[in-house]
Structure 1
Amino acid sequence: MKPEERKQAGNLYAHSHRLMGVYGLKHKQSGKWFIASAMNVEGKRNGLYFTLNMGGHINKRLSEDWKRDGEDAFEFHLLEELKPEEEYVANDEDRKKYVSRLKKLEEQWLNKLQPYEENGYHNRPADK
């Protein structure tokens, strides 16, 4: 492959979509959920497992259960995939569009599963 072809292929890959969506980490025994969304679900999953295994996740209740019960006590779920409208992200506006949609989907899943207090790892949102 010629250098300019390699550069173009690299650029297309860098701007191509990864699996986007809302994911959940479920504690099998308690049924507690940790819900989040990502532009790159597999990358976020890897980062989540890494920080939990290192004991550095920001969610202390999740970290405590992970440390006590181990990785095998949890299941990772893709709750909803967000399909891209175009083949690749050409600019920041395209990216912002998906981030906004992902946040809305995440809110819907939080409302559906109610992963608060004893049911999950999230703090109940303040009344608006």
Structure 2
Amino acid sequence: MTQTRKYKGFTPTMGIWMVKNLKNGKVWLGGSEHVQAKLNGFQFQLKMGSCMNRTLQQEYNQDGPEHFVFEVLDELKPDPSKPEGFDYRQDLKDLEELWLEKLQPYDPNGYHRPKKA
């Protein structure tokens, strides 16, 4: 199989990803239509010192990369009953909300800001 055919046949995995500080248990999570690429990109941002979450970046710099775990928490499988090209963004957002509810990664126990009432 040629590289082009492999690329064209590639379907990225949708899902929820997490970064966890092993020293203090704080968590940052997100959802993506290409979960592994997003997780890799976020890890690269931290290594380069360009993460938008200042607290997470400071703790990463202070504690070192060996104290952080990067993982895929959940995958969203395409539903064969839905039409090809179906937009899964709302499903992904709903799945992310479930994980936010489950983990409660809000300051001071996580890197997310508390939700406004």
TM-score in same-fold range (> 0.5): yes
Q: Structure 1, residues 70-101: CA drift from partner, whole Å, max 9, x if none?
A: 11111122211111124xx954xx2x2x1111
- Which residue identity is paired with 1:45? L
Instruction: Output the CA distance in 2 between the equivalents of 1:32 and 1:45.
Output: 17
Instruction: Output the CA distance in 1 between the equivalents of 2:92 and 2:37.
Output: 15
Partner of 1:116, secondary structure, is coil
Instruction: Output the CA distance in 1 between the equivalents of 2:49 and 2:95.
Output: 28
Give the alignment's Cα RMSD to 1 decimal.
2.2
State the partner residue of 1:12: 8
Segments of 5+ residues of structure 2 without an aligned counterpart are none
Pairing of 1:1-128 with structure 2 (within 5 A)? 9=5, 12-13=8-9, 16-86=10-80, 90-91=84-85, 94=86, 96=87, 98-127=88-117
Runs of 4+ off more than 6 Å: none
Partner of 2:108, secondary structure, is helix
Instruction: Output the CA distance in 2 between the equivalents of 1:6 and 1:32.
Output: 40
Paired-residue identity, %: 37
- CA positional deviation for 1:118: 1.5
Judging by fraction of residues, say which structure has more helix. 1
Instruction: Output the CA distance in 2 between the equivalents of 1:72 and 1:84.
Output: 34
- CA positional deviation for 1:17: 2.0
Q: Is the 8 A contact 1:115 1:122 kept in 2?
A: yes
TM-score (norm 2): 0.86
- CA positional deviation for 1:42: 1.3
